[in-house]
Chains A and B, each alone.
Chain A
Amino acid sequence: MQDLIRRYGVGLTGLMVLLVAFWLLMLVIIPNITLFESSFRPYLPVVEMGGPKDVYSPNNYLKVFDGSVETTILGMTFMVPVHIRTFFLTIWYSVTVTLACFVLAYPVAFYLAKIANPKSVPTLLLLLFVPLWVSEVLRAFAWWIILALKGPLNSLLLSLSLIDKPVRWITDYDAVLIGLVYTYILFMLFPIYNAISSLDTNQIEAAEDLGASRWRIHWRIVLPHSKPGIASGAVMVFMLSAGSLLVPSILGSTTSQWFTQTIQQWMNDALDWNTASAYAFLLLFLCTAFVSLVMWIFRVKLSDIAK
């Protein structure tokens, strides 16, 4: 800090501190504190705000236990509160999406880093970047067209006689998962690619010379080396999936519900901002827990993830 003042003077340094303080306080910390505070307040008509009924209670959080539905898990049927069900299905499917992205993206990352002709890599990367720049809403819309009952996918499969009647793809969470994988896979690909690029190819060749099998090379050399990239990709894909509102809204069916959609219903349909805050806080808590878990499993720091 002393150094800053010596270089740029009190005025400029003060201005920079003010800008950073505005960002962190007014745009991050205080809004989140407000969110937390509001989540404990009841939903009241304007005239009763600040009145005797306006007291803190955990009621908004307890609303997740309202209204049970029958849910079948591993062949057994339970009565599970509908919002809790949504919450856990959102987590479960986000983890599924994350794993699917990893399985699909890892070979591509390895290919780009170690197999492809180095001269063509920048062009390939650029080709991969193009879909990333197309907005999320359009990417979800593209799959909505493809998966439609009378859409191109069904007519292709029909003409190849692989199916004899159109398949309903947009059912349950199926289309949401397909859309999420497509939308976020590149957030898995690039961090892993960066990590594998920094691996010395000589290490792979040495292992080959010593007779290690393909699988063993990946398992013992490439995967451990790309751990920070995988962690970073996993965190990004999970957070984006769990927090996505567009994809589940566009590709969802009548039986699919994402936790962000529940939050939006409290906010924009029920106009109950306080309960929406409680639910938003739950989502934030879930995401924080997930990031911490991944960082612990992979033994990486936050600064390794955000690159």
Chain B
Amino acid sequence: MHKLRTTLAHLYMGAFLIYLIIPLVIMAGAAFNDSKLPSIVPWRGWTLHWFYDLFQDERMWVALFNTMVVALAVAVISIIIGTASAILINSISGRIRTVIYGLMISTILIPGAVIGISTLLMWNKLGVPPGLHLSVLGQVSYIAAMVMLLVLARLQTFDNALEEAALDLGASHAQVMRRILLPHLYPAIGAGGAVAFFQSIENFNVTQFTRGGVDTLTVYVFSKVRSGITPTINALALIMISITLLIAIWYEISRRRKERIMLAGMSRDDE
């Protein structure tokens, strides 16, 4: 009985993985089908010309460039604001902390459409026209909270006495920040930057309302899917999925290597 249950559990897990991965495989596979419509059935033979078409599409390159600029800007600003917020939140307490912390977190839950429209309205009243700069500000409004949470978690393991020691030894305030606190936070800041970068690339709702006619990659894909679809989007999808996979594989390999090194270190201690 117990064995049957375990087998069922393995089967369910396998089915779940297939459910998650099959749609991506089908989408990527359609990139090679020599058919005007993006599908894998009926299969009309292998072709690479959708990739060729994609690389010829100038609008795609502009959108890609815009996406990268926006994502970089969002990552940099979110890191700065998120880190400052985490340090500040970590050093205050009581009711004021609850209120400010609650406000910061709630930004993650605000629907993207609301962020987009409210950002557009306010800056419009201040005389700032719509465009990708507003998309950046809109995205930062909630992505900064994600960075803040990551950095805050890292701050919990920080030993304040290190700063005390540095101050006693005559370090300046800037030195304490730059040489003691920030180096401790770098892993979390790095992770936060990566999260911010990917969140920004993903973003559609905020961008859609603030972009003012300029394309980002997500907007470009969306408009292609809505209007004349050709398998060039599948070619783009395949490239994006491959990049994701490469990062995942690289991460897995480095994790395994670390594990091995740790195991080796442990067995050496035993001897």
Contacts and interface: CB of A to CB of B under 8 A. Distances in A.
Interface of A: 1, 3-4, 6-9, 11-12, 15-17, 19-20, 22-24, 26-32, 34-35, 38, 104, 107-108, 111-112, 115-116, 122-124, 126-131, 133-146, 148, 150-152, 155, 182, 186, 214, 235, 239, 242-246, 249-250, 260, 263-264, 267-268, 273, 276-277, 280-281, 283-284, 287, 291, 302-303, 305-307
Contacts of A140: 225
Contacts of A242: 111
Nearest to A281: B114
Interface residues of B, number: 88
Contacts of A16: 84-85, 87-88
A152 B176 contact: no
B26 A152 contact: yes
A19 B118 contact: no
B16 A9 contact: no
Contacts of A281: 114
Contacts, number: 250
A3 B89 CA distance: 12
Contact of A126 (B23, B101, B240, B248): B248
B63 interface: no
B237 A138 contact: yes
A111 B14 CA distance: 11
Contacts of B226: 249-250
B268 to A, nearest CB: 21
Closest 7 CB pairs of A and B: A243-B111, A9-B173, A31-B118, A27-B141, A142-B23, A35-B118, A142-B27
A7 B176 contact: yes
Contacts of B38: 145
Nearest to B111: A243
Contacts of B230: none
Contact of A135 (B201, B208, B255): B201
A284 B233 contact: no
Given A15-B84, A145-B30, A243 B13 contact: no
B105 A277 contact: no
Contacts of A151: 39, 41
B209 A31 contact: no
8 contacts: A7-B176, A115-B10, A116-B13, A130-B244, A135-B201, A186-B20, A291-B109, A303-B102
B261 interface: no
Contact of B101 (A31, A143, A186, A303): A303
B169 interface: no
Contacts of A19: 80-81, 84-85
B176 A246 contact: no
Given A24-B104, A142-B24, A243-B113, A264 B208 contact: yes
A34 B85 CA distance: 24
B144 A245 contact: no
Nearest to A135: B202
Nearest to B25: A142
Given A12-B174, A145-B30, A138 B205 contact: no
Given A4-B91, A27-B119, A250-B226, A137 B241 contact: no
A284 B240 contact: no
Contact of B39 (A133, A148, A182): A148
A16 B82 CA distance: 10
Contacts of B205: 243-246, 260
A40 to B, nearest CB: 13
A38 to B, nearest CB: 5
Interface string B135-166: 00110110011000100000000000001000
A108 B12 contact: yes
A271 B84 CA distance: 38
A80 to B, nearest CB: 23
A101 to B, nearest CB: 12
Given A34-B121, A267-B209, 4 more contacts: A4-B91, A26-B137, A277-B121, A284-B111
B88 to A, nearest CB: 5
Contact of B244 (A8, A133, A276): A133
Contacts of B81: 19-20, 22-23
Interface centre among B9, B21, B113, B233 (most CB of A within 10 A): B113
A283 B240 contact: no
A138 B84 contact: no
B251 A126 contact: yes
Contacts of A148: 39
A34 B118 contact: yes
B100 A134 contact: no
Contact of A146 (B6, B26, B84, B163): B26
B221 interface: yes
Nearest to A158: B41
A19 B24 CA distance: 40
B47 interface: no
B125 interface: yes
B17 interface: yes
B258 to A, nearest CB: 11
Given A182-B23, A284-B111, A246 B222 contact: yes
A145 B39 CA distance: 6
Contact of B100 (A24, A267, A284): A24
